[in-house]
């Protein structure tokens, strides 16, 4: 039996997407490539809901996040960063290491900083260059629900707004232009259900002009080069991962065939089913209700649930892959990636495997709780 990949990325990839990688290798300086690249750019624009320029990096999502920093932040530049998990913390550290000054607005893990705290940080620092926000914090299963307000705040003050949407595009609302996002980065292997290795970036016109006038002294992640090659020849400056481009093209076709609204609703329903089912099993959600993610479900362990043993049972006995916590949350939570292809089958099989694993650990789940968990799931669908 194949694994059911319920990780917060990479996630399950449809067969038609995997098969697309069997296409023959082409010259990346040819008309065939230009047609493929232009097709990808147009499809990702529709997915981002933007008219902005698109750059496709052959990197992990971290590469795209790093590109957003090294092309925008200069020595001494201040950037506000809400920090509610590992990835927000990493982003702030990255800004500092590049010579900028990250102004961290922290919150307890499982929550988001109140929007007013962001405004307060803005008021206390008049020379803010940018706000960098991790839209979906994969480490804690939290999502910022005031991204639109951050966009308005930045627009009003002439500040750049950068969104790390690595784990959420295709699984929740993300209208880039409507929310005034200047740089939006994502990755192929999460809610877009493609293999890892392609990271799109949407960049507004004013940000593009700034980057072109102030390019960084680096090579591979120098976005000015990508603009130049696309505008002159519809090409990338360096050799892209061609099989991944074919796969990503097919994955975007699936996204657009389903329709963004339907896809986002499906993710929301699956998240509701997971939260209801886990709660019925006595496994409380880690994130506060107003911050809960629709694509990464984090649940607290209860007494007697050993992280390694539990996840090993899930993997070895039931072929379901889920993630543990990391950093301060290691051993305290487990995380389910409810993203990409996720549907009723994925939810039901995962919950059934959790019930069986708990029973094997000696945490006897009574039949009423098991029935309640699966019945609540069925009702949502």
Residue 283's pLDDT is 95
Rounded to 5 degrees, φ, ψ at 21 are -75, -10
Instruction: Using alpha carbons, list the distances in angstroms from residue 192 to 129, 159, 198, 249.
Output: 31, 29, 11, 11
Query: Quick one: which H or E segment has residue 129?
Result: strand 128-134
| Strand partners of residue 101 | 78
Residue 371's pLDDT is 72
Taking the CA atoms of residue 30, residue 35, residue 39 and residue 45 in that order, the dihedral angle to the nearest 10 degrees is 70
- Cβ atoms of residues 160 and 183 within 8 Å: yes
Q: Which domains does the chain have, with CATH numbers?
A: 4-8+259-380 (3.90.1150.10), 16-257 (3.40.640.10)
Q: Of 282, 246, 296, nearest to 84 (Cα)?
A: 296
Residue 373's pLDDT is 66
Residue 293's pLDDT is 98
Residue 326's pLDDT is 87
Rounded CA-CA distance 247/60 in Å is 15
pLDDT tens digits, 334-352: 999 999 999 999 999 999 9
Please return the burial class of 329, using the count of CB atoms within 10 Å of its CB with bins 0-12, 13-18 and 19+: buried
Tokens coding 191: 């809610």
Query: Quick one: which H or E segment has residue 200?
Result: strand 199-203
pTM strictly above 0.85: yes
**DSSP character at residue 380:** H
pLDDT less than 70: residues of the chain: 367-370, 372-373, 376-379, 381
pLDDT tens digits, 183-234: 999 999 999 999 999 999 999 999 999 999 999 999 999 999 999 999 999 9
3-state secondary structure (DSSP) of residue 215? coil
Centre a 10 Å sphere on the Cβ of residue 381 and count the other Cβ atoms it contains: 13
Residue 97's pLDDT is 98
């Amino acid at each position: 039996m194949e694994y059911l990949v319920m990780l917060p990325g990479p996630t399950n990839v449809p067969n038609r997407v995997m098969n697309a990688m069997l296409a023959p290798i082409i010259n990346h300086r040819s008309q065939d490539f230009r047609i493929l690249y232009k097709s990808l750019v147009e499809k990702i624009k529709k997915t981002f809901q933007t008219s902005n320029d698109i750059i496709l990096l052959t990197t992990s999502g971290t590469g795209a996040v790093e590109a957003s920093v090294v092309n925008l932040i200069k020595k001494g530049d201040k950037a506000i960063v809400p920090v509610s998990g590992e990835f927000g913390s990493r982003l702030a550290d990255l800004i500092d290491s590049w010579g900028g000054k990250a102004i961290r607005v922290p919150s307890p893990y499982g929550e988001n900083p109140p929007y007013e705290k962001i405004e307060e940080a803005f008021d206390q620092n008049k020379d803010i260059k940018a706000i960098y926000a991790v839209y979906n914090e994969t480490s804690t299963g939290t999502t910022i629900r005031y991204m639109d307000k951050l966009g308005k705040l930045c627009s009003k003050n002439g500040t750049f707004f950068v969104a790390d949407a690595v784990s959420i595009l295709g699984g929740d609302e993300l209208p880039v232009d409507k929310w005034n996002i200047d740089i939006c980065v994502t990755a192929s292997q999460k809610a877009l259900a493609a293999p890892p290795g392609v990271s799109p970036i949407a960049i507004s016109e004013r940000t593009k002009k700034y980057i072109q006038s102030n390019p960084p002294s680096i090579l591979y992640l120098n976005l000015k080069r990508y603009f130049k090659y696309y505008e002159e020849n519809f090409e990338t400056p360096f050799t892209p991962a061609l099989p991944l481009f074919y796969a990503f093209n097919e994955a975007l076709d699936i996204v657009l065939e389903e329709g963004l609204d339907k896809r986002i609703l499906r993710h929301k329903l699956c998240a509701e089913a997971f939260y209801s089912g886990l709660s019925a099993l006595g496994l409380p959600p880690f994130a506060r209700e107003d911050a809960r993610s629709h694509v990464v479900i984090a649940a607290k362990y209860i007494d007697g649930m050993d992280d390694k043993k539990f996840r090993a049972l899930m993997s070895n006995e039931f072929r379901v892959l889920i993630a543990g916590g990391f950093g301060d949350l290691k051993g305290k939570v487990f995380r389910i990636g409810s993203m990409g292809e996720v549907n009723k089958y994925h939810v039901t099989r995962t919950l059934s495997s959790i019930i069986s694993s708990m029973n094997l650990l000696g945490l006897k789940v009574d039949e009423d709780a098991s029935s309640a968990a699966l019945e609540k799931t069925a009702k949502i669908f």
